[in-house]
Amino acid sequence: MAPTLPLGGRRATAAALTAALLVPLAACSGGDDGNAPAGDAELTVLAAASLTDAFKTAGAAYEKAHPGTKLSFSFAGSQELVAQVSQGSPADVLVTADTKSMDKVKADTGTPVVIATNRLVIATGEGNPHEVDDLKDLGDPKLKVVLAAPEVPAGKYSRQILEKEGIAVKPVSQEPNVRAVLGKVELGEADAGLVYRTDAASAADKVDAVEIPDDRNAVASYPAATLKDSENAGAAAAFVTWLTSAEGQEILRDAGFQKP
């Protein structure tokens, strides 16, 4: 393990890792809806790739209700986000797609709160040209299947349900995050892949989703926590709390996420 750097050094070393992934969200103007701003703050939120669409919508809504706050999101596989935190990435909030990833950096975070859950589906090309109807079909050696890598939460969940069913799958590729799996199916580079239900819904015009029964599926939990090194601790905590509010939960439900 590399030696621990002073806080300033850690931030300088890790800044480049985060900068390339940051997705800036311009502030949205709007009238006062009764939510007083917590003060001017620019927050960096490290979030699991499967939250991309939901959090862009959530971020716009949050900025409208809190004019003094601007949000920038860095979306990646949870394992990449954890690495950024461990290396001192200058961020304020972390949201992963599993509790195990969050646990790896518990010394760097506040107390996590689960904001949503998710489940896997089989994504296929539009119209399901290979007639994939069940998990067992993924074991067909003629089918090009893509999975998230084993260290990625979606990859762990995928292998968990396949092993439970006794299905051997040799993926044509193992991707660094679940959105990359979806992309392979969208582009026709894979016949099928295991992704979250919300990912398939975000590309409903390009892929079909084959449901997996709950008793054969895995439940993905999404914990959110503030980072102890945050320079905007109050604003970071307010955003995490808002994610559990009626407004935040409605946005997550509309994106297809399920209740915690």
The candidate with the shortest Cα–Cα distance to 150, out of 79, 74, 97, 50, is: 79
H or E element at residue 96? none
pLDDT for res 36: 36
118-219 belongs to which CATH class? alpha beta
pLDDT for res 40: 83
pLDDT for res 28: 36
The candidate with the shortest Cα–Cα distance to 52, out of 22, 89, 30, 83, is: 22
Alpha-carbon distance of 120 to 156, in angstroms, equals 11
Q: What's the token pair of residue 133?
A: 């109807």
Quick check: do 7-117+222-254 and 118-219 share a fold?
yes
Alpha-carbon distance of 248 to 243, in angstroms, equals 4
What are the residue boundaries of the structural domains of the chain, listed by start?
Answer: 7-117+222-254, 118-219
Q: List the Cα angle 240/245/249 in 5-degree steps.
A: 95
119, 197 Cβ separation under 8 angstroms: yes
CATH architecture of 7-117+222-254: 3-Layer(aba) Sandwich (3.40)
224, 240 Cβ separation under 8 angstroms: yes
pLDDT for res 39: 60
In tens digits, what is the pLDDT along the chain, a chain of 260 residues? 444 444 444 444 444 444 444 444 433 333 333 333 446 899 999 999 999 999 999 999 999 999 999 999 999 999 999 999 999 989 999 999 999 999 999 999 999 999 999 999 999 999 999 999 999 999 999 999 999 999 999 999 999 999 999 999 999 999 999 999 999 999 999 999 999 999 999 999 999 999 999 999 999 999 999 999 999 999 999 999 999 999 999 999 999 999 99
| Residue appearing with tokens 């090194």 | 229
pLDDT for res 144: 98
